[in-house]
Every structure is written in C-alpha cells, then in structure tokens.
Amino acid sequence: MSTQPAPARAVVIYSGGMDSFTVLHQALAEGYDVYPVSFHYGQRHAKELECARAVCESLKLKHQVIDLRSITPLIDNSALTGDIEVPQGDYAPDNLATTVVPNRNMIMLSLAVGYAVNIEAGICFYGAHGGDHVIYPDCRPEFVEAMNSVSQIANLQPVKIHAPFLLDDKASILRRGLDLGLDYSQTWTCYQGEAKACGQCSACRERLGAFAACHITDPIAYQA
Amino acid sequence: MSTQPAPARAVVIYSGGMDSFTVLHQALAEGYDVYPVSFHYGQRHAKELECARAVCESLKLKHQVIDLRSITPLIDNSALTGDIEVPQGDYAPDNLATTVVPNRNMIMLSLAVGYAVNIEAGICFYGAHGGDHVIYPDCRPEFVEAMNSVSQIANLQPVKIHAPFLLDDKASILRRGLDLGLDYSQTWTCYQGEAKACGQCSACRERLGAFAACHITDPIAYQA
C-alpha cells in the first residue's frame, strides 16, 4: 500500500469576480492545495469580496482577506479607489483610463508571492486574461513573464507566476468554467457597489457580452 | 531671463535607518523633488519610523507613512514581524535566516512604483547595498535589475528602480553620507525596539562596524 504525497500548495489571487473564480476552480481541478487571498484596496465594488468569502467557506478553503486600504494615499488617482466617477459604457481604452489602479497587479502579486514563500507554495495563480491587454498593462503576457522572472530570484524559494487564461478572452474563460460545472451566481463583477449589478458600467457590459457569446443567461440580478 | 524647469520627482523608500537616510540625501543632492515613503509592516524596530518622520519634517518633505500591518498574516514567518525571537550576534547567513521577511523588497518596491505612477515620478530610490547580498536575495543586483525590467512595463508610465549603493558596503555608504555632511544621530538601526540601541543584534554590530571602519564614534546612545 503506497501513501499519496501531500498535494502541492498554490496561492490564488481571488477577487470574487468571474475570472478569478474560474482560476480558483482551475487550480483545484489541477489538484493543488489552494490558498486563496483577496485584497480590499478601497475598490467601490467590495461586494466581490463577500462573494469570495462565501465561496471559500463553502469549499472549506483557508481564505486570507487582506485590507490594503492603508495604501490608498499612494494610489488614489483612480476611479476604483479615489473620488473620480466610474465611467459608463463600453470596455474601451479611453473610457477606462480612470479605472486603472496604479501598479495594482504588481502590488497584489508581490504580496501573493510573499504569502507563497511563507507557506512554501511554489506557484501563484492569477486571473489576467486577453480581454484586458489593451487597457491594463499589468495584464499583458510580457508583464506576467517579467513578474515570473523576478519571483524566481526575489527569495531563496522561487515562486512561479501563472495566469492560466492569459491568452483567452472572457467568453473562453466562462466556457471553461461552465465545462467545470461552475455556478456563476457565486460571482460579482459590477464596478458600482449597489445591491444589483448596474448592467451599464464597462465591467457589466463585458460580463454580459461573455454570457451572450456562450448563449446562456447570466444568473445574477441586474437593475431594470 | 529663463525659467527653471520644475525638478523631476523621485520616490525614495525611506525606513529611517542609516542606509535609506543616506539614499534620501543622495536623491536630494542629485536635485530631485523627493517624495519619501516609509512602511510600517509590523517590524519590532518601529523606532526607525519616528526618526524618518522627524527627518522629513525638518526637511519639509511630504512624507507618506503607510501602515502595512494588515499584511502580517501573509508574511508572519519572520523574527522581524512574527513571534520568533530576534537573533543576537554577527551579521551572518545562518544567524539571520529568521530576519528575512518574505518578499519584503518586492512588496515595498511595488507600492513605491504605484506611488511613482500616481504622482508622475520617473524613478524610485531604495537602499539595497552590498553588505546584504549574501543574506537577503532581494538586495542583490540581479533582483534590482529584474524589478527595474518589470517596472518599465507594468504601467503606461515606466518607472526606473535605482539603488545607488547597490555595490557598496555599509562603511562606504557612511563615508558618502559624512561627505554630504549628514548627522547620523537622526537614524536608527537596532532590530530591538528599546529606548537605547542594544549594540548586540546583528544590525547594531554591522552599524558599529561601519563607524569603526570610518574611525569615528557613532553618535547614537547604546545600552551599557
């Protein structure tokens, strides 16, 4: 009778949105012992975090929720963290410039890598994807590659940065999640922090577009 | 009569210790409009931060002090942040393994880069130096180079990572500071958080070694 080795640990940056929800389940499907971490950085859409909490509880995963609001004075020049209004309309560069949080992914990844070193996890998953490349430089393949390089040498223990959906669009990610049997009513996307999703902001529009492309109805509630 | 252009902005990671104190003054000497940022990450030696505050006030610099204690659950496996005892004795790898804070410099640099983007500064100074290379991977030239690479592409605005004393030992940094006329009674180094420096911890020993190499007496008070 042989003993199974313990599964390898993985840190997953998990916002509660549909992309990172799919990444979380992808890491589980690959057999990792998953340690999800969520960051509250003063975003208006903190409702994402409630979704993340509920999902981790139901999966019995140890969930770290890290309050990063103390860093807001450093990165307050964004509609997602500061006083600027969230833009309405399509997911397009000009429209979304104000939703760029300065250096957000490098900040979250560097914390996730610190956590990985702390718990001896060799890999960090995060949900960068093809649809974000034009607008968010820190979702591009060259950024992921450069972060992976620095994470090999920043500590005595190397950590791999892995963005499994880096080249996929949002509809492909959704399709993958539906294949995994996931329930997207457990996710939140809207940039506004209301009880129901607005359906108008760029994030809602992009989400609705992905569901339309997969020919299914989004299970969450939208304002009329 | 010509108008002087506004000096370029620089972010300086400034702990309050003697290395970053020298880096801060180096950046000022190079003519930068300096934005110092200090991080409180749960280190025992928070007295450093009091020194940093006093120095920035006397220099009339806008000083950001960012409380990062909320991230401690991610990086608690260190004597500087957790419950492990601070080691006594020389500044040597075996002795200092417990003083490594997981991924500390990547975390601080990614926040500093976010701040640089926010205020349109093109450069971040930090105080990595030669004496730390053996013990702290995130003080090595290859780490600085890799962080610089990723900081060029992580945001629409590139940010340079600059460690002016990367190849110098602590005595050389002190010598540079003395040339600049700096008063090192305005700095703090001891890893213990007592009223007077202990003189016994690895950080104190390294500091005292630098003063001895420069043939001058350290102006701060030590326990008998």
What residue type is B80 in one-letter code?
Answer: L
Q: Do B74 and A111 touch (CB under 8 A)?
A: yes
Interface of A with B (CB under 8 A): 37, 64, 66-68, 70-71, 73-77, 100-107, 109-111, 113-115, 117-118, 137-138, 140, 142-143, 146-147, 149-151, 153-156
Is B20 annotated as contributing to ligand binding?
yes
Dihedral Cα B103, B109, B112, B117, nearest 10 deg: -120
Residues written for chain B: 224
DSSP chain A: -PPPPPPPEEEEE--SSHHHHHHHHHHHHTT-EEEEEEEESS-S-THHHHHHHHHHHHHT---EEEE-GGGGGGS--STTTSSSPPPBS-S-HHHHGGGPPTTHHHHHHHHHHHHHHHHT--EEE----GGGTTT-GGGSHHHHHHHHHHHHHSSSS--EEE-TTTT--HHHHHHHHHHTT--GGG----SS-SSSB-S-BHHHHHHHHHHHHTT----S-B--
For B152, other C-beta atoms within 10 Å of its C-beta total 17
Is A51 annotated as contributing to ligand binding?
no
Predicted confidence band at A15 (pLDDT cuts at 50, 70, 90)? very high
Backbone angles phi, psi at B171, to 5 degrees: -65, -40
Q: Mean pLDDT throughout A36-52?
A: 85
The DSSP code for B201 is: B
Q: Is residue A149 part of a domain?
A: yes
Given B71, B102, B114, which is nearest A155 (Cβ)? B102
Given A105, A137, A149, which is nearest B156 (Cβ)? A137
What residue type is B193 in one-letter code?
Answer: G
Rounded Cα–Cα distance for residues A11 and A23 (Å): 11
Given A66, A71, A115, which is nearest B66 (Cβ)? A71
What residue type is A31 in one-letter code?
Answer: G
Least confident among A4-8, A121-125, B63-67, B120-124: A4-8
A61-81: per-residue pLDDT in tens?
999 999 999 998 998 875 555
pLDDT at B20: 96
Question: ipTM of the predicted structure?
Answer: 0.88
pLDDT higher than threshold 60 for residue A98: no
Q: Is residue B19 part of a domain?
A: yes
Q: Is residue A219 part of a domain?
A: no
Q: Is residue B220 part of a domain?
A: no
Q: Is residue B131 part of a domain?
A: yes
Total domain count, chain A: 1
Backbone angles phi, psi at A42, to 5 degrees: 90, 10
Q: Is residue B223 part of a domain?
A: no
pLDDT at A71: 92
- Chosen from A49, A150, A152, A159 to mutate, greatest number of chain B CBs within 10 A: A150
CB pairs under 8 A between A and B: 142
How far does B100 lie from chain A, in Å, by closest CA? 9
Q: Is residue B66 part of a domain?
A: yes
The pair of structure tokens assigned to A97 is 């410039």
Boundaries of domain holding A106? 9-213
**How far does CA A97 lie from the centroid of its chain?**
19
What averages of pLDDT result for each successive group of 10 residues across chain B (224 residues)? 82 96 98 96 78 97 95 77 55 53 94 96 94 77 96 96 94 97 95 88 92 96 90
Alpha-carbon distances, residue B15 vs A54, A174, B179, B183, B195 (angstroms): 38, 45, 21, 16, 18
Is the CB of residue B132 less than 8 Å from the CB of residue B18?
no
- Chosen from B101, B111, B149 to mutate, greatest number of chain A CBs within 10 A: B111
pLDDT at A191: 82
Q: Measured between beta carbons, which residues in chain A are less than 8 angstroms from residue B64? A: 73-74
Strands (E) located in B129-221: 160-162
Angle at B64 between CA B60 and CA B68, to 5 degrees: 155
Q: Do B142 and A154 touch (CB under 8 A)?
A: no
Backbone angles phi, psi at B159, to 5 degrees: -130, 130
A151-185: per-residue pLDDT in tens?
999 999 999 999 999 999 999 999 999 999 999 99
Interface of B with A (CB under 8 A): 37, 64, 66-68, 70-71, 73-77, 100-107, 109-111, 113-115, 117-118, 137-138, 140, 142-143, 146-147, 149-151, 153-156
pLDDT at A159: 98
Q: What is the pTM of this model?
A: 0.89
Q: Is residue B61 part of a domain?
A: yes
Is the CB of residue A19 less than 8 Å from the CB of residue A165?
yes
Rounded Cα–Cα distance for residues B106 and B102 (Å): 9
Is the CB of residue B117 less than 8 Å from the CB of residue B157?
yes
At A188, which CATH number? 3.40.50.620
